[in-house]
Amino acid sequence: MDSLAADPPRRPLRESIPPLVMGTATFNTQYVPDPFDLPAPSIVSRALDLGVNAFDTSPYYGPSELILGDALSHPSVTSKHHRSSYFLVTKAGRIAGDEFDYSPAWIRYSVCRSLERLHTPYLDLVYMHDVEFVSPPEVLDAVRELRRLRDEGAVRYVGISGYPVEKLCELAEMIQKETGEPLDAALSYGHFTIQNTTLGASAMQRFEQAGVDVVLNASMLGMGLLTTRGADAGPMATWHPSPEGLRQATHDLVPVAQDADEKLEVVAIRWSLDNWTRDGAPRGSCASRLPSGTRVGVSVMGISNIAELEETYRVFNSVIEGLEPETADTEQMRKRQWSLDRRAKIQGVVEKMWAVLGEWRDYSWSSPGLGFVNTRKPGDIGVTPNDGILRNYAAKTQVSCKIEEIPAALGA
C-alpha cells in the first residue's frame, strides 16, 4: 500500500465523481455461480479504456472487494491506469443480511480492511451501508468516524446509502443539524425506475436543503424485477423483497415492451439513465464531457461481463449526446436528434407501462421488513478481528493514538 501522503487534493464531490459508476455487487454468488470465474481484470480494463472510471463495491457483496481489488492491481490495468485516474467507492456497517455494526471501532476496521482488499492508499467515497437498519444515533456516530478517517487521509468523501428515500432524507437532515456539516453523498436504489419514481423533485429538494452535494441512483432494474425473465426466474428469486403482486405487475410489462419492438430491460435502463441525467442534475456530477459546470445525474449500473459494460456505455453515451448543446457540427446534431427521438419513443412506451402498473406504480416495499432484528450480539458490537489490519494502518499512518482510544478495535 502506498503512503497516504500522496492523496490527491479534496475538491467538492460533484467535481470529482464521474456520472456513470460501474457497480460490482454482481461480483458475488448472489448473481453468478462462481464470481472468481468472472474475467474481472478484462472487465475493469475495458471499463477504464472506455472512460467508465468509477467502481462501487462493498464488503457485504461477498468477494466483490477482493475481486475488484485484484483486478485493479492486475498488470493489464496498472500498466495503463494510475490510481488517481479512477474513483473508488465502498461501504461499511453491513456485515451480513441481518447483521450490522455501526460502532466507530467496526467502521474503522472495515475501512482499513477495504484499503487492503482494494490495494489502495485511499478510498474516494465510503457510504454507511443500508442506514435504515440501525438507529439514527448509530448512523451519526458512524459518519463521525468516517470523517475522522477522512481527516487522516484514508477516505475522501462520506455518504449514506439505503432503500427508503424518506429515511435517507431524514438522516441527511439530522446529520447536517447535529454536525453542522452536510453529507457529500446519498445513494438510493430502486427508487428512480420505470416502476418507482419516489426519488423525484420533492426528495431532491430535501437533499438540497440538507446540503447533500451528490445524490446517486442505483438499481435501475429493481434488482432484476424489471427484466424479461423477472425476479422469480433470476438469481435473487429466493430473497427478492418484492411482494407477489408487484412481481406479477412488472411481468405484465414484458408484452408492452414487445409490442413496441423493445425488451423490458432495455426500456428500463434507457428511461432511468436518460431521465436521471436530467432530474438528478441539481445534485449531479460536473465531471462529464459537457460544457464546464454542467451537472449530470449520477447513475450506478451493475456489470458482470464485457457485453453488458459496452452496451451500458453505449446507451449512456447516447443519452449524453441528447444533452449536447446545439452546434454547427452536422454529425453531432444528427446524434443529438437521434437521442431525443429515442427519448420520446421510450417515454411513450413507459407511459403505457404506467397504465399497466396501476396501484403498483411508485410502490416501495418495507425496509427493514417486519420483525427485523439485528443478529449482531450486543457484546460483539465494536469487537473486531485481531488480524493485524488496524495495526498495519496505524503503522503506515502514525495514528496509533486514535486506535488506542478504541481498545476493542485491537481485539482487547
CA dihedral (243, 247, 249, 251) in degrees, to 10, reads 180
The angle at the Cα of 131, spanning 129 to 136, to the nearest 5 degrees, equals: 140
DSSP class of residue 188 equals E
Q: Is 61 a catalytic residue?
A: yes
Residue with cell 442506514: 131
| Residue of 61, 127, 163, 313 with catalytic role | 61
- Rounded to an integer, what distance in angstroms lies between the CA atom of residue 321 and that of residue 302? 22
Half-sphere exposure of 155 (CA within 13 A, CB side): 28
Residue 20 phi, psi (nearest 5): -125, 125
Residue among 95, 125, 130, 121 at smallest CA distance from 110: 95
What SS3 class is residue 398? coil
What SS3 string covers 207-266?
HHHCCCCEEEEECCCCCCCCCCCCHHHCCCCCCCCCCHHHHHHHHCCHHHHHHCCCCHHH
Q: Are 333 and 309 in contact (CB under 8 A)?
A: no
Residue 250 burial class via C-beta count within 10 angstroms: exposed 0-12, middle 13-18, buried 19 and up: buried
Residue among 386, 392, 411, 403 at smallest CA distance from 145: 403
- Rounded to an integer, what distance in angstroms lies between the CA atom of residue 106 and that of residue 109? 5
Tell me the H-state helices in 62-164: 64-72, 75-78, 104-117, 136-152
What kind and span of H or E run contains 399? none
- Rounded to an integer, what distance in angstroms lies between the CA atom of residue 164 and that of residue 188? 8
Half-sphere exposure of 301 (CA within 13 A, CB side): 29
Active site residues: 61
